[in-house]
Structure 1
Amino acid sequence: MARNARSHHLTQGPQRTPNRALFRATGFTDTDFDKPVVGIANGFNTTAPCNMGLNTLAARADWALREAGAMPQRFGTIAVSGGVSMGTPGARYALVSREVVADSIETVCDGQLMDGLLAIGAGDNDIPGALMAIARLNIPAVFVHGGTMKPGHLHGRDLSIVSAIEAVGAYGAQRIDLHTLLDIERHACPGAGGGMSAANTMAAAAEALGMSLARSSTGAAEDAETADNAGASARALMRAIDLNLRPRDLLTREAFENAIALVMAIGGSTDAVLHLLAIAHAAEVPLSIDDFEAIRRKVPVLCDLKPAGRYMTTDFHRAGGVPQVLRLLLDHGLLHGDSRTISGRTLAETLAIIPGEPDPQQAVIRPWRDPVHSEGSVAVFRGNLAPGGAVAWIAGITSRSLTGPARIFDSEQAALAAILDHRIHAGDVIVIRGQGPQGGPGMCALMIVTSILVATGLGHQVGLITDGRVSSDPHSLVVGHITPEAAVGGPIALLQESDSITIDIDHQRLDVQLSEADLASRQAQWHQPAETAKPGAVLTKYAKLVSSASEGAVTR
């Protein structure tokens, strides 16, 4: 019988014969029915480079599971690339796809009574979606990262998708010509893999959570070691099935604190707040945005990584990757070393072989005594514009505060047009609202707006606030994830053109210079906008079910 009895219907009970007949059609023989049935959730597609290489990993995992005595069952999940859809209406589906991924994996694994799960993903949203499903199902599981994209090269410098985004902004600001833009575009993304944005941040977080094997989150998608890791992960999963080691044995409160500390130390994406909150919710672990702030103040930024720094994820991998950073955190009392991992060992046991100091010959991972920044990168803001909280990337921001007139926009496209038409001036605070989880629907990421602001020279001279998502950009004074969002009548919905707004980095405040009485008066006059038809059922359902960004934008 399968080792944790999920597949008992294959070997006993009145439905044994028809079930076994169907399984025989998929390749089962007489000797296979007492083996654990393990799902391989494969996010392969060719719509984006993140997921192009995943079939190779699924095949390697399938072979390793069979060798270890399991009966693997492959099935597909989806992925929507926020990078591909950026700046278009399609961007609304990126965060929504996280829920679809989680729901689809849960549906197949529970519907087929699988004994274990090996989930493979590589994109901004399918990684957390897979981890949410793993937490919900709570059957022995492991996450396999599809790998990072190797850097492109042009005129002696490394390029990435961020280079292409910035080039679009520079071209829009007439700082480069079309030939230069196309040259960067042609060389920026050479092949399969994700970037050091939300995708690689969440892959690294999965490793810190104990749900992925050590050193598995930062290898290049096209390198042999990434396929080797898929095989090793399959063998680790079989050991977990033997031990009945389940995700919620690993996904403890302490594990989430480890992941948050890691995100802060590597200078990770602001999206990590949304995603870790959502995974914790799925695991029924209490976690709030205030926990991120408490940890941020203790943890320095130790890595000089793009998009804010100098180095690529492949450089980080060669320098020691996630294990090296975790060892530094452990040695300085900022990691729960007794947290268990999918390998069966504790985090401290796993890190015992890692040097106590990073290799002095590299500059990607700094020694503790010489951090890139003294405190973590992703900060939580409060204020009368964000009573439920907001999120900003603050490491290295030189403009520490700004008070200026609000420039109100209800779409990303309208804000872009105003910037390119030179209607935005130094000292302005751009407000892009109606972009939250419910109002989007889907919470678009506004990376093109921030890139064009930088390209036009306005990055440090203006502010930008939004209830949508924002990029991890050290060149702009940007606050996102504002809650409550505009769609539910949050204070951002009450703003009027030229209201005076203050963004204060040092005190982590976001305020409009209006009294409580003024805000109450505007609130009394505010009316929920009439519901307009949303394209497709997916966005309609999402808008009705989604929670706030401060709760992880989970569907309920």
Structure 2
Amino acid sequence: MGKRFTPAPWPRRLRSQEWYGGTSRDAIYHRGWMKNQGWPHDLFDGRPVIGILNTWSDLTPCNGHLRELAEKVKAGIWEAGGFPVEVPVFSASENTFRPTAMMFRNLAALAIEETIRGQPMDGAVLLVGCDKTTPSLLMAAASTDIPSIIVTGGPMLNGYFRGERVGSGTHLWKFSEAVKAGEMTQEEFLEAEASMSRSSGTCNTMGTASTMASMAEALGMALSGNAAIPAVDSRRRVIAQLSGRRIVQMVKDDLKPSDILTKLAFENAIRTNGAIGGSTNAVVHLLALAGRVGVDLTLDDWDRCGRDVKTIVNLMPSGQYLMEEFFYAGGLPVVIKRLGEAGQLHKDALTVSGATIWDEVKDVVNWNEDVILPADRPLTDQGGIAVLRGNLAPKGAVLKPSAASPHLLVHRGRAVVFEDIDDYKRKIEDEALDIDETCVMVLKNCGPKGYPGMAEVGNMGLPPKVLKKGITDMVRISDARMSGTAYGTVVLHTSPEAAAGGPLAVVRDGDMIELDVPNRRLHLEISDAELAARLAAWQPLPDRPASGYAWLHQAHVMGADTGADLDFLRGCRGNPVGKDSH
């Protein structure tokens, strides 16, 4: 049973009153400067001050509409008797940040934690969307533990190209491979570009953005139904306003992330990820979030909870449809209800609404069984995330079965090794490369330390000489991540990573590798003595940090098996109010 929540007595002195309460010189200083914006004096009388932490940026196009959404959040806060203050925060854009947005997830979480800690907020609305913005703000909220609620920007509308649904990201990979295979011209590829992103919002597939929106809802950190509403649908603005109302009551009740983010909540999210065919990126983000709130979550929990979950959401990249249809079918509440009916849900887990997760979903209806499939004809019988172990991945690696080719889930092949992403780019289009569809492509030095930042390069494009034979998938292994919009038989997050001296670092061309997903095995076919000798002779690559933060990241980032957080940021530090220096 989940722990029961007892609302705190109201009224009580709020955190913001340490800045604004009373008649001291310091209180007058803080209030006086705020009043230059025209705020009446009675707004500082003890009503909840709610920070709207907005990841809007012109360089984060997924979140480009969040300023408009923030106005609806403000309206809800005003209606409930709160005082909204909009605060722009670090926005890690997936499609512009180099070397990879993942390198800046932890920087964003660090900066936003200090934004919350150092300013007069009693509660926070986390206005997110693009892939890393959702986990980074959740991590910051968990570390400070003030009442917080997620509002996502929502997915963009369906794309169409010549009568075919176009999934953002998914069709980028598909069309790119088609060009290499000679099945599509470059001009046609450019024509298709216009159809890939035709409205505001995040990727319209079950990529990382939609997955993390679903994880926030399944964890109980967003209002029920939040995840799937399209960005431009009026109901997205309605849920933003309702979330603004709700956060004020959460502050009054003192309903905090630590009350919601329990082990039961994480297990619900893991099972939900399996049911929706969610991104492998959810693994590193939820592990990191659990580390911030103090929940003991491991890769073994991912395999234990997700192994027997059926994938029932028929969305790209695993299936046929897009997020727009998912919303029309009933969205995530229908999926969560199905889990409950299958005995795979902790029904009494608490949500930001103050009700249990089961109370929120028990009466919902599935309006389209082609999109959210019935249990007797799932997309995949065993969805979830497969956690592989063996001498090539002593601390684990992950694979998404719903996106893999069934005939490759048990495979033995010859390794073709790329030492890093630049080596891959130099070799992959060379007709002289000794590779065929039976080989195993191995990419090194692309993990948290190695890339640096663990970029989404694990779904390596196949060599043109193989694509021209009509082959669309091969086994690929790396210490990198892959986009949640991608697909294929791709082994990711191999730990320890190559740059940290993991066994992946010493794989050589011609080595035989065995992949056995049903038995969760990833094995390099050399003797223990040979492996030990290779590891003893291994030398790390020289560090080449390009900036101060890059140096900090290199020095303190942890492995993918624990969430790739910075070691000194794990744990909940709470929100004690420091001394006023004025």
Which of the five TM-score ranges fits, normalised by the shorter chain?
over 0.9
Compare relative contact order (CA 8 Å, sep 6+) and give the higher one, 1 or 2.
2
User: Which residue number in structure 1 is paired with residue 300 of structure 2?
Assistant: 290
Deviation sequence 1:218-258 (CA, Å, 0-9, x none): 11111111111110101111111111111111111100111
Deviation sequence 1:5-29 (CA, Å, 0-9, x none): 2112211355222122122224432
2:155 paired with 1:141: no
> Does the Cα contact within 8 Å between 1:289 and 1:550 map onto a contact in 2?
yes
> Does the Cα contact within 8 Å between 1:391 and 1:479 map onto a contact in 2?
yes
Residue 202 of structure 2: which of 165, 190, 194 is its match? Answer: 194
Residue 78 of structure 1: which of 69, 77, 90 is its match? Answer: 90
Deviation at 1:150, TM superposition (A): 0.8
2:420 paired with 1:411: yes
| Counterpart mapping for 1:334-483 below 5 A | 334-355=344-365, 358-359=366-367, 361-395=368-402, 397-398=405-406, 399-422=408-431, 423=433, 424-446=435-457, 449-450=460-461, 456=468, 462-471=474-483, 476-483=488-495
Deviation at 1:101, TM superposition (A): 2.3
> Does the Cα contact within 8 Å between 2:333 and 2:364 map onto a contact in 1?
yes
Alpha-carbon separation, structure 1, partners of 2:424 and 2:80: 56
Q: Quote the sequence identity (%).
A: 33
Farther-moved stretch of structure 1 (98-107 vs 477-486): 98-107
User: Which residue number in structure 2 is paired with residue 7 of structure 1?
Assistant: 16
Alpha-carbon separation, structure 2, partners of 1:310 and 1:97: 32
> Does the Cα contact within 8 Å between 1:412 and 1:449 map onto a contact in 2?
no
Deviation at 1:210, TM superposition (A): 0.7
Alpha-carbon separation, structure 1, partners of 2:60 and 2:255: 34
Deviation at 1:470, TM superposition (A): 2.4
Q: Secondary structure at the match of 1:554?
A: coil
User: Which residue number in structure 2 is paired with residue 553 of structure 1?
Assistant: 564
Q: Which amino acid aligns with 2:415?
A: A
> Does the Cα contact within 8 Å between 2:173 and 2:486 map onto a contact in 1?
no
Deviation at 1:475, TM superposition (A): 5.7
Structure 1: 5+ residue stretches without partners: none
Q: Secondary structure at the match of 1:382?
A: strand
Farther-moved stretch of structure 1 (57-66 vs 35-44): 57-66
> Does the Cα contact within 8 Å between 2:49 and 2:84 map onto a contact in 1?
yes
> Does the Cα contact within 8 Å between 1:163 and 1:184 map onto a contact in 2?
no
Question: Are residues 530 and 375 of structure 1, via their aligned partners in 2, closer, same or farther at CA, if it must alter by over 3 Å?
Answer: same
Q: What's the RMSD between the two structures over aligned residues?
A: 2.0
User: Which residue number in structure 1 is paired with residue 283 of structure 2?
Assistant: 273
**Runs of at least 4 residues off by over 6 Å:** 451-454
Residue 96 of structure 1: which of 103, 108, 113 is its match? Answer: 103
Deviation sequence 1:484-528 (CA, Å, 0-9, x none): 001110000111221111122222211111111111111111122
Residue 55 of structure 1: which of 57, 63, 67 is its match? Answer: 67
User: Which residue number in structure 1 is paired with residue 192 of structure 2?
Assistant: 184
Q: Secondary structure at the match of 1:503?
A: strand
Farther-moved stretch of structure 1 (386-395 vs 442-451): 442-451
Farther-moved stretch of structure 1 (290-299 vs 168-177): 168-177
Alpha-carbon separation, structure 2, partners of 1:240 and 1:116: 8
Question: Are residues 134 and 366 of structure 1, via their aligned partners in 2, closer, same or farther at CA, if it must alter by over 3 Å?
Answer: same
Instruction: Compute the TM-score of the two structures, normalised by the length of structure 1.
Output: 0.94
Residue 64 of structure 1: which of 76, 80, 99 is its match? Answer: 76
User: Which residue number in structure 1 is paired with residue 166 of structure 2?
Assistant: 159
Question: Are residues 503 and 296 of structure 1, via their aligned partners in 2, closer, same or farther at CA, if it must alter by over 3 Å?
Answer: same
Q: Secondary structure at the match of 1:420?
A: coil
User: Which residue number in structure 2 is paired with residue 536 of structure 1?
Assistant: 547
Farther-moved stretch of structure 1 (405-414 vs 452-461): 452-461
Q: Which amino acid aligns with 1:407?
A: V
Alpha-carbon separation, structure 1, partners of 2:134 and 2:254: 23
Question: Are residues 373 and 206 of structure 1, via their aligned partners in 2, closer, same or farther at CA, if it must alter by over 3 Å?
Answer: same
Alpha-carbon separation, structure 2, partners of 1:508 and 1:221: 38
> Does the Cα contact within 8 Å between 2:11 and 2:252 map onto a contact in 1?
no
Residue 527 of structure 1: which of 517, 523, 539 is its match? Answer: 539
Deviation sequence 1:366-392 (CA, Å, 0-9, x none): 112221111124211101000000011
> Does the Cα contact within 8 Å between 2:91 and 2:133 map onto a contact in 1?
yes
Farther-moved stretch of structure 1 (441-450 vs 287-296): 441-450
Deviation at 1:158, TM superposition (A): 1.2
Question: Are residues 461 and 325 of structure 1, via their aligned partners in 2, closer, same or farther at CA, if it must alter by over 3 Å?
Answer: closer
Deviation sequence 1:333-388 (CA, Å, 0-9, x none): 11111111111111111113214xx33x5401111222111112421110100000
Alpha-carbon separation, structure 2, partners of 1:380 and 1:174: 36
Corresponding residue pairs, total:
547
Alpha-carbon separation, structure 2, partners of 1:452 and 1:283: 43
2:240 paired with 1:233: no
Deviation at 1:91, TM superposition (A): 4.5
User: Which residue number in structure 2 is paired with residue 257 of structure 1?
Assistant: 267
Alpha-carbon separation, structure 2, partners of 1:377 and 1:460: 23
Alpha-carbon separation, structure 2, partners of 1:8 and 1:61: 22
2:53 paired with 1:31: no
Alpha-carbon separation, structure 2, partners of 1:462 and 1:328: 33
Question: Are residues 155 and 496 of structure 1, via their aligned partners in 2, closer, same or farther at CA, if it must alter by over 3 Å?
Answer: same
User: Which residue number in structure 1 is paired with residue 329 of structure 2?
Assistant: 319
Question: Are residues 388 and 129 of structure 1, via their aligned partners in 2, closer, same or farther at CA, if it must alter by over 3 Å?
Answer: same
Instruction: Compute the TM-score of the two structures, normalised by the length of structure 2.
Output: 0.90
Farther-moved stretch of structure 1 (494-503 vs 476-485): 494-503
Deviation at 1:4, TM superposition (A): 5.2
> Does the Cα contact within 8 Å between 2:448 and 2:558 map onto a contact in 1?
yes
Alpha-carbon separation, structure 1, partners of 2:153 and 2:499: 36
Deviation at 1:280, TM superposition (A): 0.8
User: Which residue number in structure 1 is paired with residue 571 of structure 2?
Assistant: none
> Does the Cα contact within 8 Å between 1:167 and 1:181 map onto a contact in 2?
yes
> Does the Cα contact within 8 Å between 1:121 and 1:145 map onto a contact in 2?
yes
Alpha-carbon separation, structure 1, partners of 2:505 and 2:395: 14
